Chains A and B, each alone.
Chain A
Amino acid sequence: MNNKNSHNQSDFKENLNKRHALGNWFYFVLLACMLIGMFMLSALIIDLAIQGKDWLRPELITKYHSRIPEQAGMKSAIVGSLIIIALTGLFSFPLGVGAAIYLEEYSPKNWLTSFINININNLAGVPSIVYGMLGLVVFGRMFGLFKSDSWLVKLLNLPVGKSALGGLQFNLFGIPWLEIHLPFNQSLLAGALTMTLLILPVVIISSREAIRSVPSTIREAAFGLGATKWQVISKQVVPIAMPGVLTGIILSLSRAIGETAPLIIMGAFTYVPFLPKSLWDKFTVIPIQVYNWITLPQEKYRVHLAAAGILVLLAVLLSFNAIAVFLRKKLEIKW
């Protein structure tokens, strides 16, 4: 190539072949990484499918656990999981989004706020079993405040139950169906609250991201039109951030579905031969049911039913994620 400028052409050693070869080599390395991951995942799913496919029958969904494998199902676990997830979503949405709005829009930029931020980030990484213990002590047993011999009971002369566990039961404002049990013991309510605590840090973090991603020009424009801070937040920022917030919550819930340890710790049962009728009832969830089956000696439970149970769990998970993706696409704002 003839070049009129004064650079000595031999100063550029170009090395085209070597550079392209390096690029190609890396392409294959990266491809291999991806394939390894995919392979492992597919191997797992294929194995599960093989082990469990014969047992994916209606009985799985319509029957409770039984000592006879052919009649065993996970009806109570499925219902329990769905109720727990629904309640967790219900509790974590206002708490998480509210906290996120406060932290992003209202809190002053001082050391206290930074301290809170660091702690929230840390909490997101705390092992879930710790949340189980938290749930047990705070919600399940309420620090033993309602035991027959606690100082509170003695002080206020509370009408607790006769046994050593005590426990207060009353109707709020005297309304028959507004029954309150203190402490929450091993109920759906306690389980949902425990899971709420578990996913709350992540919900807060992802909601903050969603709120932060609302362009500041939108806020400026809204303020410029004479809106108060609350009007700007409620009428512009939150609606625009909502797709991101919802996606964050749904993805957090789909993680919560698979959590086993915290619920075991706070006291979910493994054998629940009935469907829960109220918030205060005992419950079980799919992962616990599967865990239970895996520990049984019979191969039909240990291998096949467990595999079938995991497939059900994966199906629920996938549908949650599909909903999240669908919502995100539907509500996305094309700037």
Chain B
Amino acid sequence: MTEEANNSNIISTRNLSVFYGSQEAVHAINLDIPRNKIVAIIGPSGCGKSTLIRCYNRMNDLVPTARVTGEVFYNGMNIYAPNVDAVHVRRQIGMVFQKPNPFPKTIYENIAFGARVNNYQGNMDELIEKSLRQAALWDEVKDDLTKSGLALSGGQQQRLCIARALATEPEVILMDEPASALDPIATLKIEELMQELKEQYTIIIVTHNMQQASRVSDLTAFISLDRTRVDDRVGVLVEYDLTQKIFIKPAEKETEDYISGRFG
């Protein structure tokens, strides 16, 4: 792990494997995420895409049977080292989930929550406005921030969740199929938003929608079942390259078959 690599890659995994009990879910993943890029993780269902992305902010800690081996370097620091506090990691690596899940509180309180639990000392009103502007939601809700978060439409709720994640001023935003529960127009808004956010943040998105991955990402990682272990369902990194390369001229036949819809 060279110093140079540390500087250009904000997150790097080395030999990352995840076990649920004795079952291996993902095996020996080595993936470098460069700063200020959007990296898409694609692959068939059940191959470990979500498991992988949840390693980045130690959300797998919440699953009692989960065990992680290998290393995940964030800015050069291994977040799975024994003295690292997961709570500290999660402030800096935020997450947006598949189904919009705003808290049953006002829009204001939704966004303020992350700041408050982390003891934010600055001006809360400014933080709320900044987060909502960055999430392209400010104009739609600025007239009434006391409205319940649940009263918004699905697309607005998801942007609220993005604003909520941005309020802790993270460096990386993880998105686990953020648009799969949304209609096409809301989906496009989220995709456009990602392009704007890219300037300040690094984004890692898991998606099963290949057109979305190709529209939105700079790099694409293809995770699929390890063909050499037929009795287990273990996910491995099959190919990782520039998006344009993966979608026009992938190196691996497995990748080619998957993206052309000729899997199985």
Q: Do chains A and B touch in the complex (CB under 8 A)?
A: yes
Which residue numbers of A lie inside 8 Å of B, CB to CB?
A: 108-109, 215, 217-218, 220-228, 231, 235-236, 240, 333-335
Residues of B within 8 A of A236 (CB): 103, 113
| In the complex, chain A residues whose CB is within 8 Å of the CB of B164 | 221, 225
B104 adjacent to A240 (CB under 8 Å): yes
- Closest residue of chain A to B64, judged by CB? A109
In the complex, 28 of the A-B residue pairs with CB atoms within 8 angstroms, ordered by the A residue number, are A108-B64, A109-B64, A217-B97, A217-B101, A218-B101, A218-B103, A220-B97, A222-B117, A223-B62, A223-B90, A224-B57, A224-B94, A224-B165, A225-B94, A225-B114, A225-B117, A225-B118, A225-B164, A226-B88, A226-B90, A226-B91, A226-B114, A227-B87, A228-B117, A235-B117, A333-B104, A333-B150, A335-B104
- Assembled-state Cα–Cα distance A236/B114 (Å): 12
Question: Would B97 and A226 count as touching, CB distance under 8 A?
Answer: no
Chain B hits for A334, CB < 8 A: 150
Q: What's the Cα separation between A231 and B104 when bound, in Å?
A: 16
> In the bound complex, do residue A235 and residue B165 qualify as a contact, i.e. CB atoms below 8 Å apart?
no
Q: Which of B94, B101, B102 contacts A220 (CB 8 A)?
A: B101
Tell me whether B84 is interfacial, beta carbon within 8 Å: no
**A221 and B101 within 8 A (CB):** yes
Tell me the residues in window 58-108 of chain B with beta carbons closer than 8 Å to chain A beta carbons. Answer: 59, 62, 64, 87-91, 94-95, 97, 99, 101-104
In the complex, A333 Cα to B97 Cα: how many Å? 21
Closest B residue, CB atoms, query A334 = B150
Q: Is B168 an interface residue (CB 8 A)?
A: yes
Seed contacts A218-B101, A333-B150; 19 additional CB < 8 Å A-B pairs:
A215-B101, A217-B101, A220-B97, A221-B97, A221-B161, A223-B59, A223-B62, A223-B90, A224-B94, A224-B165, A225-B91, A225-B113, A225-B117, A226-B87, A226-B91, A226-B118, A227-B114, A240-B104, A335-B104
Alpha-carbon distance A235/B89, docked complex (angstroms): 20
Determine how close the nearest CB of chain B comes to the CB of A219; give it in whole angstroms: 8
Indicate whether A226 sits within 8 Å of B168 (C-beta atoms), given known contacts A217-B99, A236-B103, A334-B150.
Answer: yes
A108 to chain B, nearest CB (A): 8
How far apart sit A226 and B94, CA to CA, in the bound complex (Å)? 8
Which chain B residues lie closer than 8 Å to A227 at the CB level? Answer: 87, 113-114, 117
User: Chain B contacts of A222 at CB under 8 A?
Assistant: 103, 113, 117
A-chain residues with CB within 8 Å of residue B57 when the two chains form the complex: 224
- B100: nearest residue on chain A (CB-CB)? A217
CA distance A226 to B115 in the complex (A): 9
Bound: A225/B62 CA distance, A: 14
Interchain nearest-CB distance for A332 vs B (Å): 10
Of all chain B residues, the one with the shortest Cβ separation from A228 is: B87
Task: With CB as the reference atom, state the residue of chain B lying closest to A214.
Answer: B104
The docked-state distance in angstroms from the alpha carbon of A335 to that of B114 is 21
Q: Which residues of B contact A109 (CB under 8 A)?
A: 64
- CB of A225 within 8 A of CB of B97, answer no
Render B98-141 as a binary contact track against A, CB cut-off 8 A, 1 for contact. 01011110000000011001100000000000000000000000
Q: Is the CB of B90 within 8 A of A225?
A: yes
What chain A residues lie within 8 Å of B117 (beta carbons)?
222, 225-228, 231, 235
Residue of A nearest to B89 (CB): A226
Collect the chain A residues with CB atoms within 8 Å of residue B165's CB: 224-225
Which of A221, A224, A231, A334 has the most B CB atoms < 10 Å from its CB? A224
Q: Which residues from chain B contact A226 at a C-beta distance below 8 Å? A: 87-91, 114, 117-118, 168
Residues on the A chain within 8 Å of B94, using CB: 224-225
Please name the residue on chain B nearest to A236 by beta carbon.
Answer: B103
CA–CA, A220 and B90, complex, Å: 11
Please, which residues of chain B bring their CB within 8 A of the CB of A235?
Answer: 113, 117
Closest to B92 in A: A226
CA distance A108 to B64 in the complex (A): 9
A333: nearest residue on chain B (CB-CB)?
A: B104
Q: 5 nearest interchain CB pairs?
A: A225-B114, A226-B91, A217-B101, A224-B95, A226-B90
Could you say which residues of chain B place their CB within 8 Å of the CB of A220? Answer: 59, 62, 97, 101
Does B90 lie within 8 Å of A224, measured CB to CB? yes
Q: How far is the CB of B98 from chain A (nearest CB, A)?
A: 9
The distance in angstroms between the C-alpha atoms of A221 and B164, with both chains bound, is 9
- The complex places the Cα of A235 from the Cα of B168 at a distance, in Å, of 17
Q: B183 to nearest A CB, angstroms?
A: 19
Q: Which residues of A contact B114 (CB under 8 A)?
A: 225-227
Partner of A335, one of B87, B150, B161: B150
